[in-house]
Structures are given as structure tokens and as C-alpha cells.
Amino acid sequence: MRATTVLNKLLRLPGLWVRGLRFEHEMLIVGIKSRSRKPTCPRCGWRARGRFEIKTRQWRHVAIGGIRTVLEGPIRRLRCQRVVTEQVPWARHGSRFTRSFEGITAYLAQNLPKTKVVQLLGIAWETVGSIAGRMVQEQLSERRFDGLRRIGVDEISYRRHHKHLTVVVNHDTGHVVWVAEGKSSEVLRSFFEELGSERLAQIQVVSLDLSAAYQKAIREAVPGAEMVFDKFHIAQLAQRALDEVRREIQRNLSNDARKPLKKPRWALLKNPDRLTDKETEKLAGIQQHNEPLYRGLPAQREPTRQSGNPHAKHAEWELRSWLQWACRCRLKPFVRLSRTVRKHLDGILRASITGLTNARLEAMNSNIRILNHRARGFHHPQNLIAMVYLCCSRIQVATPRLG
Ligand SMILES: [Zn+2]
């Protein structure tokens, strides 16, 4: 069997002939040519005739036997409504990768951590994002908006936490349905506009953080929907309040007294009955030197525990007694937090009666955390947005067969 015939079988790619092969810089370069005589317009599918401008292009393909494999062949330009590069069956329009390579990339991106994907494929994370973009563009459909009744709005940060995306989740399926750049009320408003009035009328519950911007957009667009503030965001605020108290104390301490305060957060956040001996000792140290911080300790737990309680009445009582403590505790960050909590009290308490279970809210929250992690290393928001859709919406990627 001739080498080119073997390669034809190995590549398993539609619409091309293998013309030859060569090795260059430890790469296998396979010469190919399109089977079709007439080039196809990528926009309308029209097949052109006549003479064409021809250039040579390379497409990265799945490695054969662990050797980087590149297809190289002519690509034609045709004049339809304007001059465009032809559509080839083995690659998406504008891509320098074959469809098989992009399929594997998308599958890995859905299932493996970022560093593994980058290592396995030898391409940059940003490139993985642009591949995700092409897959998502092909598959994202308006049907994801059907049947939206309970949604969650949240933000994720990227570029060292200076930039944000707004993410909308369908609580009933757990899927991300919408993502856009920014976290202003205009951004969320554009989601509601995209939904349209008929679908908007179906929305009953919106969960969100305490962001005033989101609240504004929700009040305007879906005044009938109930707003629910989930405990994870309040826990986050409480943690920040505790950190603030800790830093304040640290500034006024001698070196010796400062020691037990280093990284005490994990110990502070644990359940008291799950602490190891060492951690208990550490906490005792904190208590000894830093009485105000220790006072903040039960405080920072309390508001987070309330919506985890199955008995709404009891939860309400717990939260109210925490509020009483917090507004009088003389720890400024906690006084401020108590004001915020009081302002949103209805929405916080509502979490337990709207049928939005903690499991659903937690699922959303852990998704957001994963996305926050994956967001690192992206410079172009459109690539990050594509990655969010690829990993958390209903985009289906076929499992590649490597054996
Ligand atoms: Zn055309």
C-alpha cells in the first residue's frame, strides 16, 4: 500500500485527497487537496465557477502516533457577494485547526483542568477559548430560553478580578443560559430584552447577590418575580468582614501576638467540633490576644447558617438574634454587614420558602467558583464567554475515539 493511501485512511477526513507527505522540524506535514472542483461560499453555500486566487494554508490536525500533524494544501478565494475564502469540509470557516482537532479540544476542555488541556494539546488556553467560540457559535440555540421559571444571576471575574461577566443560570436544569461582559444593570437588562415579554412573564424567582445594579434591572423588567438572596453571598460578605477585623487587629500587634493570626481563616471557618487539636490551640491563641476577633467568630457563622436550617421559623429567629448582636457589637465591619442584611432581610428569608433548595443554589455557586478559576488566563472576553457556554450550558460534544 502506498504511504498516501495509508494516510488517507489514517486521517479519516472528508472531502480531501492526500497528495504527499514530508517531515519538517519533527512535524508530519501532509499535502492535501480538496476533492471538490468548485469552491463553496461559506456564507450561502453557493458553488462558484471560474478562475480563483489560490493560496496555501495549514491546518493543525490530531497528532498521528504522537507526532504533531499538519495538513497543508491550496485554498481558493471566490467572489460571491464579496470576495471570501472557500468553505472546506474538514475545518470550520476561519479556523487553522481541523474539525477533529477542535472536537477533541472541546471535549478535553469540558472534562479536564486547564493545565492538562494545554499540556496535552500544546496550544495556548486562549486558543482553546477561540476553538470553544466556533463550537458554541455552531450549537447555541434560542431553545435554551424555553421554560425558564427560576433563574439565578451571578458574576464571575477575570483579568485579575478587574473585569466581570454576568452569568444567568436556569435553576431547574442547572445550565448556564446567558453570559455577557460587565455587571451593570444595563447588561442584565439586555438579557431580559433578549428573552422577550412572553418568556419574561413566566419567570417566578430570581436569585442573586446583593448587587444593587442587578436588583434595579430585575425590578424594572420582571416586577412580578420574587428576588431571593442566597446564603453563599452573605457568607462571603461575612468572611470579608471578619478579614477586615483581623487586619485591623494585626496592625496594632507585636510580632509574637501576631503569629497565631497568620492564615487563621481556615480554622475560623471550620465547625468547632471538627477542629484538630492544633487548630483548637490556634483558636485559643487568637482568643487570648485578640478578644474582638474572637467575638466576630460566631458572628460570621451565624448569618450563613440560617438558610441551611430546614425550619424556616427557627432560621428566621436565628438570623434576627444575630442581627441584634451584630448591630451592637462595636466591630465596624459587622455593624455595616448587619445593616446590609437588614436591608435585604425579606429576600434572604425568602430563600427557604420559594422552593429554591440549597442544593440548587449550591450547585450554581460551585459552578461559578469553577468558572472563576477557569477564567484566569483569558484576555479576550469573547473567548471566556465561549468557554462558559461550552462547559456549563447544553453544548454537546461527541466523545472522541482514540482507540
Ligand atoms: Zn455566498
- 51 CA to middle of ligand 1, Å? 16
Work out the pLDDT band at 306, boundaries 50, 70, 90: very low
Check if the beta carbon of residue 233 is closer than 8 Å to that of residue 303.
Answer: no
pLDDT at 187 over 90: yes
| pLDDT per residue as tens digits for the range 311-355 | 567 767 777 877 887 888 778 888 888 888 888 888 887 766 666
- 35 CA to middle of ligand 1, Å? 20
- 4 CA to middle of ligand 1, Å? 33
| pLDDT per residue as tens digits for the range 361-383 | 677 777 777 777 777 778 888 99
- 300 CA to middle of ligand 1, Å? 62
- 83 CA to middle of ligand 1, Å? 9
Query: 96, 122, 155 — which closes off a domain?
Result: 96
- 163 CA to middle of ligand 1, Å? 38
> Which CATH number does the domain housing residue 390 bear?
3.30.420
pLDDT at 308: 47
pLDDT at 50: 75
- 141 CA to middle of ligand 1, Å? 23
Q: Within this chain, do residues 346 and 246 fall inside the same structural domain, yes or no?
A: yes
- 213 CA to middle of ligand 1, Å? 43
Q: Within this chain, do residues 85 and 185 fall inside the same structural domain, yes or no?
A: no
Percent of the chain with pLDDT over 70: 82
Domain count, the chain: 3
Range of the domain at 224: 102-229+358-403
| pLDDT per residue as tens digits for the range 250-304 | 777 666 666 655 555 555 555 555 666 766 666 666 665 555 555 555 544 545 4
Q: Within this chain, do residues 53 and 144 fall inside the same structural domain, yes or no?
A: no
Q: What is the mean pLDDT of residues 17-32?
A: 93
Query: 43, 68, 96 — which closes off a domain?
Result: 96
pLDDT at 290: 55
Q: Within this chain, do residues 165 and 49 fall inside the same structural domain, yes or no?
A: no
| pLDDT per residue as tens digits for the range 82-108 | 899 999 999 999 999 999 999 999 999
- 41 CA to middle of ligand 1, Å? 5
- 390 CA to middle of ligand 1, Å? 29
- 18 CA to middle of ligand 1, Å? 28
- 96 CA to middle of ligand 1, Å? 21
pLDDT at 377: 76
Which residues are found with C-beta within 5 Å of the ion, ligand 1?
A: 41, 43-44, 46, 80
pLDDT at 93: 93
Q: Within this chain, do residues 225 and 362 fall inside the same structural domain, yes or no?
A: yes
Check if the beta carbon of residue 152 is closer than 8 Å to that of residue 368.
Answer: no
pLDDT at 8: 84
Work out the pLDDT band at 305, boundaries 50, 70, 90: very low
Work out the pLDDT band at 396, boundaries 50, 70, 90: confident
Q: Within this chain, do residues 75 and 109 fall inside the same structural domain, yes or no?
A: no
Between residues 385 and 355, the one the model is more confident about: 385
Q: Within this chain, do residues 324 and 334 fall inside the same structural domain, yes or no?
A: yes
Between residues 237 and 339, the one the model is more confident about: 339
Query: 96, 129, 154 — which closes off a domain?
Result: 96
Q: What is the mean pLDDT of residues 18-33?
A: 93
Query: According to the 3-state scheme, what is the secondary structure of 257-326?
Result: HHHHHCCCHHHHHCCHHHCCHHHHHHHHHHHHHCHHHHHHHHHHHHHHHHHHCCCHHHHHHHHHHHHHHH
**Distance, first Cα to last Cα, the chain:** 22
Question: Which of 197, 153, 145, 198 has the alpha carbon at shortest distance from 347?
Answer: 153
Q: Within this chain, do residues 225 and 366 fall inside the same structural domain, yes or no?
A: yes
- 44 CA to middle of ligand 1, Å? 4
| pLDDT per residue as tens digits for the range 242-255 | 788 777 777 776 66
pLDDT at 4: 84
Q: Within this chain, do residues 8 and 120 fall inside the same structural domain, yes or no?
A: no
- 103 CA to middle of ligand 1, Å? 26
Please tell me the pTM assigned to this model.
0.78
Listed as own residue / partner, the contacts of 153-156 with beta carbons closer than 8 Å and 24 or more positions apart are 153/188, 153/206, 153/207, 153/208, 153/209, 153/214, 153/218, 154/208, 154/209, 154/364, 154/365, 154/368, 155/183, 155/209, 155/211, 156/368, 156/371, 156/372, 156/375, 156/388
Q: Within this chain, do residues 114 and 204 fall inside the same structural domain, yes or no?
A: yes
Mean pLDDT (the chain) is: 82
Extract the C-alpha cell encoding 350.
Answer: 425568602
Q: Within this chain, do residues 281 and 390 fall inside the same structural domain, yes or no?
A: no
Q: Within this chain, do residues 133 and 82 fall inside the same structural domain, yes or no?
A: no
- 387 CA to middle of ligand 1, Å? 29
Q: What is the mean pLDDT of residues 72-88?
A: 93
pLDDT at 185: 94
Check if the beta carbon of residue 169 is closer than 8 Å to that of residue 177.
Answer: yes
Q: What is the mean pLDDT of residues 180-193?
A: 95
